[in-house]
């Protein structure tokens, strides 16, 4: 029996399940695996739902399998943290050689983040690879690259995560950086040749819609400014409630203040920052979300790296015309990053508001990307380093924004990816003491929580060393892929 599931195929049942709140976590139903053909389940549902004694939860449990919906790590022995992580790599390893429910098939084993996240995630996997590199697990690093390549070649991009309901969006494009890690780990630059077509295909996905754009217009992930410059943004092809947060979206939509609320929500998910005051027009409430009106500094920097990687790969393949083409694209993007994202008055990098033709007000840690990738001048890097030290670094690590909104990508939470970006960014420009402070503050926080709980968490509270991080649409998760990876890499 084919058990692949698209949520639209059980829409009436799915809508009733999510609205009835029979599961505490709305992700449960999205991860369900049909035990019978979907048409058969739908037919049974239409017949049985009208009965006076109909039990919706009992019906769902008798027609779907929920095994493996969450990753539960239980261990009696309290190992040293590095040994615990080594065991976690095996416990977080999964395979999906066939479609089951909404889970997409992948050719190679992979590492899942943990907790409620029991599928392959795109940008998480880069930070997981950092730890796999330290652990000497090069084969798994290659597996991750292979899985990304498979998805790009077969779908056209790497989805947010490996489920059918994520086929409308990607996540921050880290594939070219993954190749750098793999090449560094193997000493073999042939990976750039091997995955040339994949690099080019991912680039085409992010640039799709560029042709024919007029000034001051947008199409999908591409926009042309009123000055005629090309920039990128995060985007989602759908404008409907997210299945994994279905009722939350419907309720938030009731008081939404802008257009295309659902697409703005979904586009925020493509950024990985779900959610943050960074996306809110009023700086406070999710109902004012306007991700689509913003060109983000991070995605533009990552696409510059993809362009530079295509320059390198084109050179290795002796594609002179393409080498020239991507060199010109990268040079132009470097220029527009400086033009549109550097805020001279604030002395830091900020996002660019497409409609207002100026930088957004949000102060956020994605300002690190130009330093992480070496795009900032020494003067710019010094200014950013001072703001990082003054406004973002706390005793528990780097926070993501200077705003308390109750959202998980805001103060007071510290997330693993940005500890690594912060550490490397400061090292790149010679701010060694600040780099070490970032590393030590966050690693100490991770060690404290591990000593108290035996767990590695998805995110940490940077301000209160007695508290666990919170905010967002679900409880803090343990496992946790990118925390494991970044911790090992920082401590090596």
Give catalytic residues, as residue numbers.
274, 458
Whether the CB-CB separation of 161 and 120 falls below 8 Å is answered with: yes
Q: Which long-range contacts (CB under 8 A, 24 or more apart) does 13-19 make?
A: 13/41, 13/42, 13/45, 13/60, 14/243, 14/246, 15/246, 16/49, 16/56, 17/56, 17/60, 18/243, 18/246, 18/247, 19/246, 19/247, 19/250
CB 397 within 8 A of CB 441: yes
Q: Locate tokens 């996306």: which residue?
A: 279
Q: Give the span between the Cα atoms of 94 and 224, in whole angstroms.
A: 41
Place of tokens 């920052």: 273
Please tell me the distance from the alpha carbon of residue 199 to that of residue 180, in angstroms, as a whole number.
12
293 and 287 in contact (C-beta within 8 Å)?
Answer: no
Q: Rounded to whole angstroms, how far apart are CA atoms 115 and 72?
A: 6
Token digits of residue 175: 């594939």
C-beta separation of 138 from 191 below 8 A: no
Token representation of residue 394: 């706390």
Q: Left if phi > 0, otherwise alpha if psi is -120 to 50, otherwise beta: which for 349?
A: beta
Among 40, 76, 77, 75, smallest CA distance to 59 is for 40
Contact 173, 179 (CB under 8 A): no
């Amino acid at each position: 029996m084919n058990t692949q599931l698209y949520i639209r195929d059980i829409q009436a049942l799915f809508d009733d399940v999510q609205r009835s709140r029979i599961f505490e976590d709305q992700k449960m139903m999205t991860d369900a695996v049909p035990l019978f053909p979907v048409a058969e389940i739908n037919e049974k549902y239409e017949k049985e739902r009208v009965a006076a004694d109909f039990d919706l939860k009992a019906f769902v449990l008798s027609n779907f399998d929920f095994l493996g919906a969450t990753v539960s790590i239980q261990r009696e022995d309290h190992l040293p943290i590095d040994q615990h992580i080594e065991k976690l790599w095996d416990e977080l390893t999964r395979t999906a050689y066939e479609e089951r429910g909404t889970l997409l098939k992948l050719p190679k084993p992979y590492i899942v983040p943990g907790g409620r996240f029991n599928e392959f995630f795109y940008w998480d996997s880069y930070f997981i690879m950092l730890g796999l590199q330290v652990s000497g697990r090069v084969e798994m690093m290659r597996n991750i690259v292979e899985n990304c390549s498979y998805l790009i070649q077969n779908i056209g991009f790497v989805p947010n995560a490996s489920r059918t309901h994520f086929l409308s969006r990607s996540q921050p494009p880290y594939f070219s950086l993954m190749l750098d890690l793999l090449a560094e780990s193997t000493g073999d630059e042939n990976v750039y040749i091997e995955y040339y077509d994949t690099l080019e295909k991912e680039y085409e996905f992010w640039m799709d819609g560029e042709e024919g754009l007029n000034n001051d217009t947008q199409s999908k992930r591409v926009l042309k400014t009123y000055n005629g410059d090309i920039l990128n943004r995060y985007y989602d092809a759908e404008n409907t409630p997210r299945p994994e947060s279905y009722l939350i979206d419907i309720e938030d939509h009731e008081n939404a203040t802008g257009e295309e609320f659902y697409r703005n929500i979904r586009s925020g998910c493509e950024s990985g920052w779900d959610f943050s005051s960074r996306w809110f027009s009023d700086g406070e409430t999710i109902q004012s979300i306007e991700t689509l009106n913003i060109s983000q500094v991070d995605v533009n920097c990552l696409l510059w790296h993809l362009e530079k990687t295509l320059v390198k790969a084109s050179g290795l393949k002796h594609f002179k015309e393409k080498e020239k083409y991507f060199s010109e694209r990268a040079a132009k993007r470097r220029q527009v990053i400086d033009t549109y994202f550097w805020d001279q008055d604030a002395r830091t990098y900020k996002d660019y508001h497409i409609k207002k033709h100026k930088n957004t007000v949000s102060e956020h840690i994605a300002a690190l990307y130009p330093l992480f990738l070496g795009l900032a001048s020494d003067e710019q890097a010094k200014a950013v380093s001072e703001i990082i030290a003054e406004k973002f670094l706390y005793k528990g690590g780097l926070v993501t924004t200077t705003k308390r909104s109750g959202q998980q990508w805001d103060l007071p939470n510290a997330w693993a990816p940005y500890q690594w970006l912060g550490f490397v960014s400061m090292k790149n420009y010679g701010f060694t003491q600040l780099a070490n402070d970032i590393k030590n503050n966050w690693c100490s926080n991770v060690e404290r929580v591990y000593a108290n709980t035996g767990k590695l968490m998805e995110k940490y509270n940077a301000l209160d060393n007695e508290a666990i991080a919170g905010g967002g649409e679900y409880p803090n998760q343990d496992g946790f892929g990118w925390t494991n990876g970044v911790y090992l890499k920082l401590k090596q």
